[in-house]
Structure formats: structure tokens, C-alpha cells
Amino acid sequence: MNPLSDLPSNNSMTKNTKSNELILRDPSKVMRLERMGSSFQTRLSFMRTLIRRMSTDKWRFERLISDIDSEGYGVSVYAAHTPERTYSLVAFTQSIPNDMRTDRVIAEVWDATFSLYDGVPSLEDIEYLSKHTPKQEAGRFRPSELVLARANKSLRLFEHIASSLSNGEQPDIDLLASVGYLMRTTAVYGSGKFGCADRAKLHDREECKVSFHIELLAVYLIRWFTIDLVETIAQKRGGKKAVKLEYNISKFIGVGNSTGLGMAPFLLKHPVLIHNWVSAKESSLGRVRSINNPTDYSTEVFLQSLKQASQHIREWNVEDEEQTLRIERLRVEVDKLEYWCVTNDILKKMSPWDIIYKFVEENFSYECQELTVSLLLEPHGELIDELADTMLATDGTVFDSNMQLKELTNILNEHYSWATKIDFSSAESQHHFWYYSEDKLEPRFGSIDTDDGVEQEMPLAIAREISDLHNKLKTFSNTMCTGEFAMRYPQFRHIIRRAQNTAIRPYAEVQDNLLNKSMRPLDLLRFKLAFFGASKFDPKSDLWTRISMYQGAPLPKQLNDKDHDNWAFPIKPIKEIR
Amino acid sequence: MNNEFIRISLNEILFYFTRAGFGVNAPIGLSEDFARSNVWLAENGFDPSSCSYFALDCLDNRKSSIIANFSDRNTIVCSDKKYLSAFQASVVAADWITSNSNDKLKIVNVDSPFLVLAQLGVNLAENWQVEWSDDKGDRYLINLKKNENWEIVSNSVNLIEHSKGANILIKKLDFTGVDNNEVIKKFNTKHCRENILQTGVEVKDMWVLVYEYFSRCLVKSNARSRETGAGAGLVDND
């Protein structure tokens, strides 16, 4: 049973905050790779906000078509009916050779492929998609398709659950917990990729205007599809003997994902969006830390969340040695935090959330600090949930040609000292470069010493560009305008525009050198995936990670449950006693 | 010219045209603006590749240059005695109108003048008039009005997106000077954009050539880069 589910659903809280005293963490603290790579989901994460919307707006879900054989191969269509319109997941499943099952972009076949259709597809649409969706990047899509995705089975868990259910038994919980999902997605494309609908088509739709909601709706439907699929296969195999998954066990099944380097350039290419995401999270933390007298409800939720998080991270096991050490330390620190809070009656003091944050920041690891941020936000939906609506961007960066070079220099001094201090004459500082491979445009991370392609480097060397601009500006008159300067030196137009944006959106920039030898793309991936709402980060190298999505989240039939929003830290279910 | 076409999204235009610019060695900042200009053209129902291929080709073959300077207070010329590349001309024009509300700007010998107009459209320029005569002697007058309304006034039978080698004059909107024989074609970018979002952008034969420039930003794959450059294994059963 979820320990949070017994809490009162009316989370009214006293807005007893210190006026105009929001304590915001500085970008130089927040936007560092080491901290970014320790991020956790929060109640503002996109999966969380999407589930709340589904429940609040009473979305209806329906399986429209299930035309599959006894092995589960065929086509299925699942619909989400929102108050305004319907979205349909069209799923194709097929048998593939084991030696062709890869999580990489360069894969050519998948166990399942998906399109999210805008509306209810006609038979002609399904026929069209049957020729394109299974080909993924090699197919061609239309503005009626919003998302393109694919997934591969976790063979051992899928077969175990199908077999167990067909024999009338529930699956082994430990095995289920060790994997967490029946299938893992290996790419989820939206925003106009391969001819799909542009993001702008959705801008005025309330249900999916927040970042990545449409992609995460597709993932939510994929999760439901995988559970429905395994139950259907079990039914076909076992007949009357077969059973369905128990309520809490089905809820514990998430959908996996393998994420590689594609996400990293995204963060660099969307500075306005990244600022808005981080700003919402930091403003939320600031609001919570400003509370003088917390309600009983909030302190109770905090303590129960802390206990559940403690259990959650005990069940978070990975093979990666470095992450294992971080998790082990986190377990100890979370226990210490709980002990400290209770023995010192911290929650009965004035401004307890601020006290807790400061204590954790001074004493514990980044992992624990960022977990604590998540825990502090958890009880304060009424105070912070409105900020989720700001986590989008409709505008891009703008080049201010009238700005004088003096002001530009001031911006570099104020916001980019982290970059201007780097010595780019050292080999270590320019060890890496980012590029697109001709293999399906797969993004890759090369080393100058060993890899070809530095001439085609992606323009992600922000720190180096800033350093070059900073040096160049030293030789120019302060009163010249950036427009004239950029006309003479167009190679700086890109970085000037970026710097001008940072002056008004200070959380826009990752404040580390992404070319450095020690750079771990993994940190960028975790940062972004945490905003999505992912959990159980399972790094497979510095370049890619597996994660769980929607583990513990309510399935369509569970969206009206009282505890539909309490799935931040999923823990193993207990089998029903018969 | 054949009539075959494919439909692509606005985001694909942004992605491919930015990198096509990169493929002809245009600085990334100019390439980004070049791509935004192409998105604006596409939003208005034009095939962006048919206009932009020439600008890409000129830069690639050094028939144009991005080196520009003011020969006098109101005239921009290419310092290299070539076409002035629309990559540079368009952003200079857009920068100029933000600080010169009542003046005129002349830009000399621009390879693809329609791209300059497009960049002004991207920047939501209002109450400006853009005029040019190109190397075929065709004259085009474009009025940028309020609320994303704009119009082309011309008696040319040639497509405006194919117009090349023009001296462009940018000035405040002047409603006089329209010849009775000239045809007025009106646009509303917002309205056109809504349609394009439902249909996608039709691109024809020049798209393949733009894609070739884009493909220059791709790095050839080899066994090492396949195995070490992107993480994950080549077989991932579990």
C-alpha cells in the first residue's frame, strides 16, 4: 500500500510566507554538470503534471482495435479522449531476430513501433502507417501524426509475466522490480521529425502545450499497451486458467527507455526553454523555503515522502560502479536526514524547509541535495503547481543589434566568468567534440585524438565561443553596437545572441565546458530526464542510460483513485493474500 | 523541372537549412537566421529550397561573400566585388530597421533578395517597403504591413523566389507608386502558417540539392565510432 494514500486529499495549506524574500539558488550553483547529473523528478516534472491533468480533466481511455495473433503480433489502436479532442496510439508489433535488437538509433527493426495520431485514424490511415511506422526514420509521416516511437521487449520479464499470468499466477516481484518494465522505448520523436506535426500545431491546445506532454502521452499509452499486450497473450495461451495482473502490480510496471546523446544537444539548442524549466523549479523551491509556519499536512507528507524515498532508493540497484557508490551514500544520507529532522523537531521550528535545505546543502552529496529539493516540493502543490504552466517556450532568442559592446562585455563578466576563466590552450579543455554521424544522423561524442570529423563539429562549444568573443571585445571601442560588430565578425553573431539571452534568462546556460576531457554527457541526460519525470536512472556508460518512466503511476482505470498523484517514489508492491 | 514533391515540416526546414548553411561554411549565427528566413517563406506557402539553393550555391562557389560594409551611411556593399550573400544581407537589414525608423537602406547586388524580405518578415517588420529590380530586369515591390499582412506588387511573370542579383531598397511604407498594370498578391503569414501546419511544406526538386549541402555536416561512420561514439551496444537483449 502506498503510505501516502491515507493522507487527506484536501491539501489546503497556510500561505504563510515571508513576503518578497524568495531565496533563489544562483545559476552558478544550479547549472553545473555535477549537480545537473544528480537531478530527481519533482511534482513539476512533465509526467507528473500530465497525470494530474488526465485525472483532473477526466480523460477517458479506450482500446479501439486489437488485431493480434497468439504471440502478440499485429496492430492495435488505443485512444485517449480529452475534453477537447482524441489522440490515438497506433501500435505495430512483430517478431524480430534477437541479434538485431539494439537500443541504438542505428537499429533497423524493433519489437514494437508506434505513431500517435491526431484524432481517430481511419482504416486508410492505419494502412498508411503500417507501411511507414515500422520503418521509423526511413518512413515518411504527415501532420496528422504527432509522435513516432519504438520499443523493444525486456525479453526475460515479458516472457516471465506472460507465462506466469497464463498459468494463473502473479509474476515474481523481485524480478519485476529488477527490470521495472515490459518494454523500453529507444526513441520518441515529436516536433516535426520525419514529417510529423510541428510543435506549433499544438501551441493552443491546453492539454499538451507544456513541454513534451504530447510525447509523454504517447509513452503513457505505450505503457498501457505493453500491459494490455502481455495480459492478452497470457489469455490466449492460458485460456480460462489465465489471470490478469493484480492492481498494484500492474501499477508498478513502468515503461523503460534508453537514452543516448540525442538529448544532450537539445539542452544546448533550447536556452529559453531550459531557463523556463529551471526557473519554475527554482522559484518553487524558493517559495517553499520562504514558508514560516508549515501546515500539519505538509509536514506529514514530507515525512512520509522521506520514508518512501528511503525505501525507493533501497530498491534502486544498478550495475554501474560509480552510480552504485552514489546510491549507497544517498541511502545513508537520507536515513541521517530523517533522524536529524525527527530528533531535533525541525518540522516544528520556524522556516523548517529552509533549515532542512541548508542543512542538506552543507552536509550531504548533490544526490541528496537534489532528492531533498524533490521532497520539499512534494507537499506544496497548492503553492507551486501553477508554475508548471510556465515550463514552455514560444519565443526564441533575439539578437539585440543596438546593444553597445560595453554592455555585452558586462554580460560576459557577470554571467560567463565560468567560461572566460577556462584555458583553451590546454589539450584537455578541447578534448571532445560533438557531431552527427551519417548513420541515421546519430549524434556522437568524439575525441580529437582518435576520431574523424572535428571539421563538422556541432556548434555546442559555448564556453570556447564565449572565450573567443571575450578576447576579441578587448580590442574594440565600448561604444560600438553589436550589430556593427557582428556585421564585421559574423562568426560571433551566434554567441552574442546567446549571451544576450542569458542576461535576461540566467538559468539558460550549462556552466561547464562541454568539450573537456572529464565531461560526462550522462549528466545532461539525467538533468533532462528528471524534468520528464524519469526514475531509477541506470547508467550504462558516460554516454547513455536506461530509465523507468511512469513506474507507480496510475493506469487509465486508476486515474480517479484518491492517490493518483502520489507516485513520486514507487516501491515494490506486495502480492495480494488469497 | 519535374512536378514531384515531398512534404516536410517547418522544424525539418529549421534543422536542415541551418546545417546546409553550415555546409557552405556560413557562420552558425548567420545559418540560424537563414533557416528562420526559410521557415517564414515556407509558412507563406513558398518552396524555400527553390529560393535558397541559389544563395547556398553562390556561397559554396564563391560567387557571393558575407563580407559587407557600409559604403556610405545608407548603403551596404559587398567588399569582395561579388554578390553580397543573402546570409549576411538579410541580418544586416533586420538589424538596421530596429534602429532606423525613418531612413532608407540600399543593399547592393544581393544574390537572393527574397531571403532579405523573409528575414524582415521573421522579425515582424511592419510598415516597411522593400523594392528591387533583379538581373532579369524584373521589378518587385513588397509592402510589409501590420499584423503579418504583406503583399507583393509586380508585373513579372517570373517567380519571386527565383529573383537573383538585385539592388534592394528598404524604406518606410509608401502607398504611392503602384503601377496600374502591376499585380498585387496578398498574404497573411499567420493565416498561411495555420494552413501549413495542417498540410506540411511542399518541396520540389531543389530540395535534394539543399539536402546535399546539409549532408556535408555529417561525419562518415566507421567501426570505432559506431561502437564508442554513441553509447549502447550493438545488441541489447535483456
Q: Which of A155, A435, A487 sits opposite B68 (nearest CB)?
A: A487
Is B151 inside any structural domain?
Answer: yes
ipTM over 0.90: yes
Residue where one domain finishes, among candidates A508, A527, A554: A508
Residue B169 lies in a domain: yes
Distance CA A308, CA A373 (A): 15
Mutation pick from B5, B9, B75 vs chain A, by most beta carbons of A within 10 Å, is B9
**Which chain A residues have a beta carbon less than 8 Å from that of B8?**
195
| Residues of A whose CB is below 8 A from B232 | 102-104, 258, 260, 540, 543-544
Residues A383 and A475 in one domain: no
- Closest-CA distance, B23 to chain A, in angstroms, reads 9
Asked if the C-beta of A203 comes within 8 angstroms of chain B's C-beta atoms, the answer is no
Which positions 226-255 of A are in contact with B (Cβ < 8 Å)? none
Instruction: Please report whether residue B20 resides in a domain.
Output: yes
Angle made by CA atoms A104, A109, A111, in degrees to the nearest 5: 100
Number of residues written out for chain A? 578
Grid cell listed for B205: 526538386
What is the span of the domain harbouring residue A239? 49-260
Interface subset of A 74-103, CB within 8 angstroms of B = 98-103
* A225 and chain B in contact, CB less than 8 A: no
In a domain, A89, yes or no: yes
Query: Are B29 and A493 within 8 A, CB to CB?
Result: yes
Helices B48-60, B86-97: crossing angle, 10 deg rounding: 110
pLDDT tens for each residue of A79-109: 999 999 999 999 999 999 998 998 888 889 9
Q: Do A494 and A382 share a structural domain?
A: no
Span A173-179, average pLDDT:
96
Whether residue A431 lies within 8 A of chain B, CB to CB, comes out as no
Chain B CB contacts of A453 under 8 Å are 219-220, 225
In this predicted structure, which of A101-105, A114-118, B30-34, B197-201 has the lowest mean pLDDT? A101-105
Q: Determine, yes or no, domain membership for B223.
A: no
| Helix segments in chain B, DSSP class H | 10-23, 28-43, 48-60, 86-97, 113-122, 189-199, 206-214, 223-228
Shortest Cα–Cα distance, B159 to chain A (Å): 26
Q: Which of residues 197-216 of B touch A (CB under 8 A)?
A: 197-200, 215-216
Angle at A395 between CA A394 and CA A396, to 5 degrees: 130
Which of B7, B120, B225, B227 is the best mutation test for A, with the most CBs of A within 10 A?
B225
Query: Does position A15 have pLDDT exceeding 80, yes or no?
Result: no
Which chain B residue shows the shortest CA-CA distance from A182? B238
* Res A174: pLDDT: 96
pLDDT at A16: 45
Task: Among A475, A508, A541, identify where a domain stops.
Answer: A508
Contact of A121 with A90, CB cutoff 8 Å: yes
Cβ–Cβ < 8 Å for A212, A533:
no
A411 and A384 assigned to the same domain = no
Cβ–Cβ contact B231 with A under 8 A: yes
B25 at A interface, C-beta within 8 A: no
Which DSSP category does A24 fall into?
P
CB of B73 less than 8 A from some CB of A: no
User: Residue A568's closest CA among A7, A43, A5, A36?
Assistant: A43
Per DSSP bridges, beta strands A443-447 and A432-437 are antiparallel
Element of type H or E holding A332: helix A321-343
Answer positive or negative: Cα dihedral of A329, A331, A332, A334: positive
pTM, two decimals, is 0.94
Per-window interface: B 32-61 vs A, CB < 8 A: 32-33
Distance CA A77, CA A63 (A): 6
Output the CA–CA distances (angstroms, integers) from residue A312 to A201, A432, A553, in the order listed.
39, 36, 14
Confirm whether B125 is domain-assigned.
yes
- Nearest-Cα distance to chain B for A567, in Å, is 26
- Of A90, A210, A80, which is closest to residue A533 (Cα–Cα)? A210
Q: Please tell me whether residue A216 adopts helix, strand or coil conformation.
A: helix
| Cβ neighbours of residue B29 closer than 8 Å, sequence gap 6 or more | A399, A486, A490, A491, A492, A493, A494, A495, A496, A497, B91
Q: Are A259 and A523 in contact (CB under 8 A)?
A: no
**Mean pLDDT (whole number) for A343-350:** 96
B191: distance to nearest CA of chain A, Å?
A: 13
Q: Is A494 within 8 Å of B27 when comparing Cβ atoms?
A: yes
CA A304 from centre of chain: 24
Q: What is the DSSP string of A454-468?
A: GGG--S--HHHHHHH
As for how many domains chain A has, the answer is 3
| Pairwise CB contact (< 8 Å): A487 & B69 | yes
Find out whether A496 and A402 touch, Cβ atoms under 8 Å: no
Using a pLDDT cut of 70, give the percent of chain B over it.
93
Q: B28 in helix, strand or coil?
A: helix
* Residue A13 in this model has a pLDDT that exceeds 80: no
To which H or E segment does residue A432 belong? Answer: strand A432-437
Cβ–Cβ below 8 Å for B219 and A438: yes
A544 is a domain residue: no
Residues of A in contact with B199 (CB under 8 A): 143
- On whether residue A109 sits in a domain, the answer given is yes
Same domain for A252 and A118? yes
A97, part of any domain: yes
Residues A438 and A369 in one domain: no
Interchain contact, B224 vs A450, CB within 8 Å: yes
- Chain mean pLDDT for chain A: 93
Domain final residue pick, A454, A488, A508: A508
Strands B75-78 and B105-110: parallel
pLDDT at B147: 93
Residue of A nearest to B33 (CA): A494
* CA neighbor of A195 nearest in space, from A229, A146, A125: A146
Q: A205-255: per-residue pLDDT in tens?
A: 999 989 999 999 999 999 999 999 999 999 999 999 999 999 999 999 999
Cβ neighbors of A485 (< 8 A, separation 6 or more) are: A405, A476, A492, A496
A118 and A246 housed in the same domain: yes
Contact status, residue A251 vs residue A558, Cβ threshold 8 Å = yes
Interface test with B, best of A198, A434, A469, A488 (most B CBs within 10 A): A198
Residue contact B230–A443, C-beta within 8 A = yes
pLDDT tier, A14 (very low <50, low <70, confident <90, very high otherwise): very low
Stretch (H or E) spanning A367: helix A366-377
> A230 and A293 share a domain?
no
Q: Which residues from chain A sit within 8 angstroms of residue B218, using beta carbons?
A: 436-438, 441, 456
Determine the Cα–Cα distance for residues A295 and A382; give it in Å rounded to an integer.
Answer: 12
Q: Is residue A34 part of a domain?
A: no
Task: Note whether B4 contacts A: Cβ–Cβ < 8 A.
Answer: no
Q: Is residue B237 a part of any domain in this protein?
A: no
Residue A233: helix, strand or coil by DSSP? Answer: helix
* A3: in domain: no
Average pLDDT over residues A264-284: 95
Residue A463 placed within a domain: yes
Can you tell me the distance from the alpha carbon of B151 to that of B144, in angstroms, rounded to the nearest whole number?
A: 7
d(C-alpha A272, C-alpha A277), whole Å: 9
Residues A328 and A246 in one domain: no
Write out chain B residues lying below 8 Å of A190, CB-based: none
**Per-residue confidence band for A304, with pLDDT thresholds at 50, 70 and 90:** very high
Same domain flag for A85 and A155: yes
In a domain, B183, yes or no: yes
Which chain A residues contact residue B222 at CB under 8 A? 452
Range of weakest confidence among A453-467, B55-69, B180-194, B204-218: B180-194
Element (H, E) at A153: strand A145-153
User: Which triple of cell numbers denotes residue B218?
Assistant: 555529417
Query: B26: domain range?
Result: 6-218
Alpha-carbon distance of A357 to A341, in angstroms, equals: 11
Is residue B235 included in any domain, yes or no? Answer: no
Which residues, including other chains, have CB under 8 Å from residue A230's CB and lie 6 or more apart?
A: A72, A158, A161, A162, A165, A182, A245
A165 and A58 both lie in a single domain: yes
Contact A543/B28, CB-based, under 8 Å? Answer: no
Q: Containing H/E element for A445?
A: strand A443-447
**Spatial distance between the Cα atoms of B228 and A543, rounded to a whole number of angstroms:** 9
Query: Among candidates B110, B24, B20, which has minimal Cα distance to B59?
Result: B24
Are residues A185 and A280 located together in one domain of the fold?
no
Tally the domains of chain B: 1
What is the helix, strand, coil percentage profile of chain B, to 5? 40, 25, 35
What pLDDT, in 10s, does the model give residues A193-202? Answer: 999 999 999 9
pLDDT in tens, B144-193: 999 999 999 998 999 999 999 999 999 998 766 555 667 789 999 999 99
Residue A578 in this model has a pLDDT that exceeds 80: no
- CA distances from residue B27 to A491, A492, B18 in whole angstroms, order as listed: 5, 8, 10
Q: What pLDDT band is residue A261 in, cutting at 50, 70 and 90?
A: confident
Same domain, A55 and A192: yes
Q: Beta partners for A145?
A: A117
* Residue B226 contacts A, CB cutoff 8 Å: yes
Indicate the pLDDT class of residue A9, thresholds 50, 70 and 90.
Answer: very low
